[in-house]
Amino acid sequence: PAEAPASIPAEAPGTFRIHATDGAARTGVLHTAHGPVRTPIFMPVGTVGSVKAVAPDDLDAIGAEIILGNTYHLYLRPGDELVARRGGLHGFNAWKKPILTDSGGFQVFSLSALRKITEQGVEFRSHLDGSKHLFTPEKVVSIQRNLNSDIMMVLDECVSYGADKPYTEKSLALTTRWAQRCRDAYPGGTAGNLLFGITQGGFFKDLRERSIGELTQIDFDGFALGGLSVGESKPEMMDILYHCAPLLPADKPRYLMGVGTPLDIINGIAAGVDMFDCVLPTRNARNGTLYTSLGKINIKRKEFAEDDGPLDPACNCYACRTFSRAYLRHLYVAKELLAFRLNSVHNLTYFLDVVRGARAAIAEGRFAAYKAGFEAIYPEEVV
């Protein structure tokens, strides 16, 4: 058996079929209004409606199946109603495959000033012009419907690392009430915008269990683990990840938000997670940090000045097929814009190869060996 075939017959949005399992790891297909997504999947981040430095034809060549957009950014600029008038985000940015949008709550907490959380929602000031706004659960669903997102996320509060138990407990209860209001604002239907719930609970296992228990009472199309990779140590993250992922419904897609390194993703898959997103491959590409089959390198180093070999001999991306390390180093050192594109194309290809390889390994019952291979490449990260 192999991973799901290249051509997958269309099914109703929200249909999630698991084709094979290996331990807790699973491989399958999630169907959306803009086509299928093979899982486990890595989703390149296109915060403002563009995956930085790469165009949709690059993304197609890389093999991206779904990208992220962000409610907070697109609402502030250019505005979700402007996007709606251009046929939603797909009509606006010309990416025709699935798009998942984060709800904006997380960005409000990380970017905007003067945020105030009440029962009603979260009040904040724009990081662009200081203007005042209110995100309610109903509002973020309405924005994501205007964007015509394939997978919408509920409004949640991502509790900061170090929050105490009483605060985390109150916060997760609010997150549950907001999740229910998001569901009530859009009971679902024929338009095909899926809605995922987000579980929270900080670093308290009993609160994590409570959040999962409450959220899974609501009829969502998938469930996310939020509030991880927020400054905790690797062992703390892995402890919560391996404890919580199996508690999420087995028949719905599971999404680990904002995670992570290649080894984090491999651990997520081992724990039973199906979807991942992170700015790491694109952000690192822009500062010269590149992932290869032999580990991470920084292309600016002098040792690559006359290295005529490919960036990664095991990679089949446009950058690796076409250019030498010496040329890629030159572009980077000369601050040429092409460096951003080529480095991003490569790093995204690497992350998509990680999940593509995982799908094949799960289908063939050799995921443990596949995981061990990554532990050998990234020994400093093994916990």
Q: What gap in Å lies between CA 204 and CA 200, rounded to an integer?
A: 10
Nearer to ligand PRF, 228 or 270 (CB): 228
Which residues make beta-bridge pairs with 277? Answer: 43
CA distances in angstroms from 22 to 17, 41, 138, listed in the order given = 15, 16, 39
257 binds, among ligand PRF, Zn ion, none (CB under 5 to 8 A by kind): ligand PRF
Helices marked H in the chain: 56-62, 71-76, 80-85, 88-93, 105-111, 137-146, 165-185, 205-215, 234-244, 262-271, 280-286, 318-322, 325-333, 337-363, 367-377
CA distances from 189 to 17, 29, 69, 156, 355 (A): 20, 20, 22, 23, 31
Least distance (Å) from Zn ion to the CB of residue 156? 35
Nearer to ligand PRF, 159 or 320 (CB): 159
Q: How far is the CB of 279 from ligand PRF (least distance, A)?
A: 10
What does residue 150 show for φ and ψ, rounded to 5 degrees? -75, -35
Nearer to ligand PRF, 111 or 326 (CB): 111
User: β-strands 254-256, 222-225: how paired?
Assistant: parallel
Q: What minimum distance in Å lies between the beta carbon of 100 and ligand PRF?
A: 11
Output 62 or 257, the one with its CB closest to ligand PRF. Answer: 257
Minimum CB separation of residue 326 from ligand PRF in Å reads: 37
Q: For residue 375, what are its two tokens?
A: 């532990």
Q: Should residue 33 be labelled a site residue for Zn ion when binding is judged by CB under 5 A?
A: no
- The secondary structure of residue 303, as a DSSP letter, is G
Q: Nearer Cβ to ligand PRF, position 230 or 299?
A: 230
Q: How far is the CB of 106 from ligand PRF (least distance, A)?
A: 3
SS3 87: coil
Question: Binds 317, which of ligand PRF, Zn ion, none (CB < 5 to 8 A, cut-off by type)?
Answer: Zn ion
The DSSP 8-state label assigned to residue 45 in this structure reads: B
> In the annotation, is 277 catalytic?
yes
Catalytic option among 102, 156, 274, 353: 102
Nearer to ligand PRF, 230 or 355 (CB): 230
161 or 323, CB closer to ligand PRF?
Answer: 161
Binding interface with ligand PRF (CB under 6 A): 102-103, 105-106, 153, 156, 158, 198, 226-230, 257-258
Nearest CA-CA partner of 360 in 112, 86, 25: 25
User: Would you give the binding string for Zn ion spanning residues 322-351, x where CB under 5 A is met?
Assistant: ------------------------x--x--
Place of tokens 């194309």: 345
Quick one: what does residue 178 bind among ligand PRF, Zn ion, none, with the CB cut-off 5 to 8 Å set by partner type?
none
Q: Which does 106 bind (CB under 5 to 8 A by kind): ligand PRF, Zn ion, none?
A: ligand PRF
Q: Does 315 bind Zn ion (CB under 5 A)?
A: yes
Q: Which does 320 bind (CB under 5 to 8 A by kind): Zn ion, ligand PRF, none?
A: Zn ion
Q: In the set 100, 140, 278, 317, which binds Zn ion (CB under 5 A)?
A: 317
CB atoms within 10 A of CB 41: 26
156 binds, among ligand PRF, Zn ion, none (CB under 5 to 8 A by kind): ligand PRF
260 neighbors 381 (Cβ within 8 angstroms): no
Of 221, 264, 274, 277, which is the active-site residue? 277
Tell me, yes or no, if 156 is annotated catalytic: no
For the chain, the maximum distance between any two Cα atoms, rounded to a whole number of angstroms, is: 61
**Centroid of chain to Cα 176:** 21
Q: Which residue has the tokens 């990416």?
A: 95
Binding-residue total with Zn ion (CB under 5 A): 6
Site of interaction with Zn ion (CB under 5 A): 315, 317, 319-320, 346, 349
Which positions are catalytic? 102, 277
